[in-house]
Chain A
Amino acid sequence: MNRAIDLIFHNTTRFFAISVLIVLVALFAVLFNEAKPAMDAFGLDFVVNSKWAPNMEIFGGFPAIYGSIVSTLIAMLIATPIAIGIAIFLSELAPPWLAVPVGMAIELLAAIPSIIYGMWGLFYLAPILRDIWGGNGLGLMTAGIVLSIMILPFMAAITRDAMKTTPDILKESAYGMGATRWEVLKDVVIPYVKSGIIGSIILALGRAVGETMAVTFVMGNAHKVPDSIFKPATSIPVTLANEFTEADTDLYYSSLFYLALILLLISFTVIATAKFWFLRNLRERRI
Chain B
Amino acid sequence: MTRQNRRILVNKVVMALSTAAAVAGLIFLFWIIGVLFYKGFGALNLDIFTYDMAPPGREPSGLRNALVGQLLLVLGASFIGVPVGILAGTYLSEYGGKKSRLARLIRDISDIMMSTPSIVIGAFVYAVLVEPFGHFSGWAGIAALAVIMVPIVLRTTDDMLQLVPGSLREAAAALGAPKYKVILQVVFRGAKAGILTGVLLSVARVAGETAPLLFTSFSNNFFSTDLDRPIASLTVTMFNYATSPYEEWIDRGWAAALILALFVLGANIAGRMIVRRKR
Contact = CB atoms under 8 A, between A and B. Distances in A.
B124 interface: yes
B205 interface: yes
A233 interface: no
A25 to B, nearest CB: 10
B167 to A, nearest CB: 20
B91 interface: yes
B127 A257 contact: yes
Nearest to A27: B124
B227 interface: no
Nearest to B179: A6
B179 A81 contact: no
Chain A interface size, under 10 / 10 to 19 / 20 to 34 / 35 or more: 35 or more
Given A31-B123, A182-B14, A206-B115, A21 B253 contact: no
Contact of B119 (A212, A217, A275): A212
A119 B211 contact: no
A173 B201 CA distance: 39
B174 interface: no
A180 interface: yes
B109 to A, nearest CB: 5
Nearest to B257: A116
A55 interface: no
Contacts of B50: none
A59 to B, nearest CB: 16
A9 to B, nearest CB: 4
A210 B212 CA distance: 12
A109 B33 contact: yes
A111 B268 contact: yes
A72 B48 CA distance: 37
Contact of A115 (B92, B204, B208): B208
Contact of B118 (A124, A152, A156, A210): A210
A166 to B, nearest CB: 16
Given A124-B31, A275-B111, 4 more contacts: A23-B150, A117-B32, A120-B36, A213-B211
Given A6-B178, A149-B29, A212 B117 contact: yes
A113 B264 contact: yes
Interface in A233-250: 237, 240-241, 244-245
Contact of B120 (A23, A31, A106, A180): A31
A30 B128 contact: yes
A93 B15 CA distance: 8
B11 to A, nearest CB: 4
B35 interface: yes
Q: Closest 6 CB pairs between A and B? A: A210-B117, A85-B21, A113-B208, A13-B91, A180-B11, A89-B22
Contacts of B204: 111
A90 interface: yes
A156 B127 contact: no
